[in-house]
A and B are shown apart, each in its own frame.
Chain A
Amino acid sequence: MPLVRAVTCPVCGCLCDDIELTVEKKEIVKVKNGCAMCESKFLGYNGEHRLVKPLMSKDGELVEVTFEEAVEKAAQILVNASYPVLYGWSSTSCEAIRAGLELAEEVGGVIDNTSTVCHGPSELSIQDVGIATCTLGQIRHRADLIIYWGSNPWSSHPRHIERYTAFSEGRFEKSKWCGYITKVKASVAKKKFQSAIRRVIVEERSSLPPPPQRDPSEVLSKTGRKLVVFDVRRTRTADIADYFVQVEPNKDYELLQVLRALVRDEDIDVDEVAGVSVKHLEEIVDAMVSCEFGILFFGLGLTMSKGKMRNINAALSLARDLNMRTKFMIMPMRGHFNVTGADTVFTWQTGYPYAVDFSTGYPRYNPGETSIVDVLMRKESDAALVIASDPVASLPGKAVEHLVQNPLIVIDPHMNATSQMADVIIPSACVGIEASGTAYRMDHVPLPLKKVVNPPKGVRSDEETLRRILSEVRKLKKKQEAEAS
């Protein structure tokens, strides 16, 4: 059985490139080294929900058509639209994204990627403040203080902690696996003990009381790697952390600014901020200032809650302030496997990372106006092309209402929520499994995506499909120009 080594996983922004796949009779039958989501993708990508034939809506029903018919219809929709949106891009290759940008320019629409509903505010803040960052390799080998803020990598990036942070074995910093195992054993024993007591005294089962708030100095003064989590609720990542700080919802901004003040040795004239004791915050800041290499990973807990880009401004500024005292880096936890690539290619080609409007003939960027949710909420678009994304499942329902009222083209390997509402569906090869390409890891390191098996007969890659639509659009426009003259 052929074993394909060093495969890059096309699921999350970690882009783990140590996956081993066993291929039997042209199918992937075994996945080694992957997380639960990785296994689910490699073993389930070709399941019942797989699209293999182009479909078009006729009298409210989706019927099979040829690839050429679907491409022609898609091109007609885009050419006839005056303000189409081209959305998605974060789960495809950089090569396809490049073709998509060319198409957006040709049809004069708005092109936006899923950053708009994940780290769009982070992009805006990075443009405002700047970012002190590094690669994940540097963190693996050198970081002795790791902070996750508003991020739960245990669920969203399951191998992030193991490959790059607290549980990774670095050249200068050791893995914290052993400490974690001891902690889990102690926690299991405690739960068994509590359960036994409950059985003896027949006490009604209730929530376990919150763990007593320990003094941060107890755990943060120890030597070796330390993991601190800031979040509005106790997550699985918080469970494994050395110290967890529970922040009141929508109060991250205040907390970040107080940490900045403490880093600058300013006095705080309150006892508590965002539900956290200032005394504890002082001890956390001591740990931040005294670390040799700190890293703050932030997630959607900051970008999606009150304050949005202002939260990120404060986080980036905190990292900047900390660099006056020690070495401290900061990095957004990017979600989709090539959302960083989408931002990067958008920036090469247009100068802007997302929400780019070509309707005036040149790229214009004004998130809040040219971003997809705003365009849809103002009901301005009159057609849409969605690729490698599922906005019907990921955008607010109020915005989706307008998206589905207009002609909708979907290019995707699977029948997802958006495909179910589409007028034209063009199946595509799964990038990183059936098509090769390039993707950018969350730290901006480009990695190759492998083609491991062939796509179903007649199914093309995203890049090829987009190039065919682009060619058809150019042909139609030429024809219209000739008729007009």
Chain B
Amino acid sequence: MEKPKLQVTLLTGRTIEQGVGKEQGKASKEYAESASVCFIDLEDLKKLGIEEKTNVLVSTTYGSVILRALKSPQAPHPRIIFIPYGPWANAIVDPETDSVGMPSLKGIPAEIEPADDKPLLSLKELLKTMFKKE
């Protein structure tokens, strides 16, 4: 059976957990746990047919990344997903600067689908996959 997919708008931003995690250290478990998540409206989780803490694949024109789905504490915001700042979010954000130097890190069209069979990558694994040094 084909997995359900949802067209959403991606927002990235700061969460207090990610802020605390980055001060604990980028290699810390706290940082990885706080930045490799995707906050989704409960109704959208239902549409995807998944429970929270399931892995999801979020894709944009610029790439795709596996994240852990969490129920958004700030719902309702249907069809809007939120990923904290960090290398996981940056794998899929829009680098277009519109000639002002600033990439587009909020309001990006994205697609989300369940990916319970795919693993969540650690920071080291993610960097290795994304940036192979020649």
Residues of A within 8 A of B (CB): 11, 36-37, 40-41, 44-45, 47-50, 116-117, 120-121, 124, 152, 154-156, 158, 206-210, 232-236, 238, 249-250, 300-301, 303-306, 308-309, 335, 354-355, 367-369, 371-374, 377, 390, 392-401, 404-405, 414-417, 420-421
Contact = CB atoms under 8 A, between A and B. Distances in A.
Contact of A116 (B92, B99, B102, B130): B102
Given A117-B103, A234-B77, A235-B74, A415 B9 contact: no
Interface in B10-39: 11-16, 19-21, 23-28
A117 B106 CA distance: 12
Given A49-B26, A156-B14, A355-B101, A396 B94 contact: yes
Contact of A392 (B21, B76, B87): B87
Nearest to B15: A155
Tell me whether chain B's interface is mostly helix, strand or loop, or mixed: loop
22 contacts: A36-B20, A155-B14, A155-B19, A156-B13, A156-B19, A207-B76, A232-B106, A235-B74, A236-B74, A249-B106, A300-B13, A305-B107, A308-B104, A368-B97, A371-B97, A374-B101, A392-B87, A392-B131, A395-B90, A399-B95, A415-B26, A420-B27
Given A48-B25, A49-B25, A397-B90, A120 B101 contact: yes
Interface string B74-116: 1111001010011100111111011111111111000000000
A44 B23 contact: yes
Given A155-B19, A414-B25, A117 B90 contact: no
A308 B100 contact: yes
Contact of A232 (B11, B24, B99): B11
B16 A417 contact: no
Nearest to B10: A249
A218 B106 CA distance: 32
Given A308-B102, A396-B62, 19 more contacts: A36-B16, A36-B20, A47-B28, A49-B25, A50-B25, A120-B102, A234-B74, A234-B75, A238-B74, A304-B105, A308-B98, A309-B102, A355-B101, A373-B95, A377-B97, A394-B86, A395-B103, A399-B103, A415-B25
A206 B42 contact: yes
B25 A120 contact: no
B26 A416 contact: yes
B100 A420 contact: no
Given A309-B100, A417-B26, A300 B106 contact: yes
A249 B131 contact: no
A446 to B, nearest CB: 23
Contact of A210 (B12, B13, B76, B105): B76
- The size class of the interface chain B forms with chain A is 35 or more
Given A249-B9, A401-B131, A405-B134, A48 B106 contact: no
B75 to A, nearest CB: 5
Contact of A414 (B14, B26, B63, B94): B26
B95 A377 contact: yes
Contacts of B134: 405
A373 B87 CA distance: 15
Nearest to B123: A417
A44 B13 contact: no
B34 to A, nearest CB: 11
A166 B86 CA distance: 30
A190 to B, nearest CB: 16
A305 B106 contact: yes
Contacts of B16: 36-37, 154-155, 158, 236
A36 B30 CA distance: 13
A233 B92 contact: no
A395 B25 CA distance: 18
A393 B107 contact: no
Given A206-B43, A303-B102, A417 B25 contact: no
Given A300-B13, A373-B95, A44 B90 contact: no
B85 A394 contact: yes
A125 B33 CA distance: 36
Contacts of A116: 101-102
Contacts of A233: 11, 72, 74, 77, 80, 82
Nearest to A38: B23
B100 A124 contact: yes
A292 B74 CA distance: 32
Given A117-B102, A152-B14, A207-B43, A393 B86 contact: yes
A373 B19 contact: no
Given A37-B16, A44-B24, A395-B103, A373 B97 contact: yes
Contacts of A420: 27, 123-124, 127
Contacts of B80: 232-233, 249
B101 A373 contact: yes
Q: Which 9 residue pairs of A and B lie closest in terms of their CB atoms, listed nearest first? A: A371-B101, A49-B25, A368-B99, A367-B101, A40-B23, A396-B95, A416-B26, A41-B23, A156-B14
Contact of A396 (B19, B27, B90): B90
A203 to B, nearest CB: 14
A244 B127 CA distance: 39
Given A48-B25, A49-B28, A404-B131, A37 B104 contact: no
A121 B76 contact: no
A300 B105 contact: yes
In the complex, which of the residues A41, A233, A394 has the most CB atoms of chain B within 10 Å of its own CB atom?
A: A233
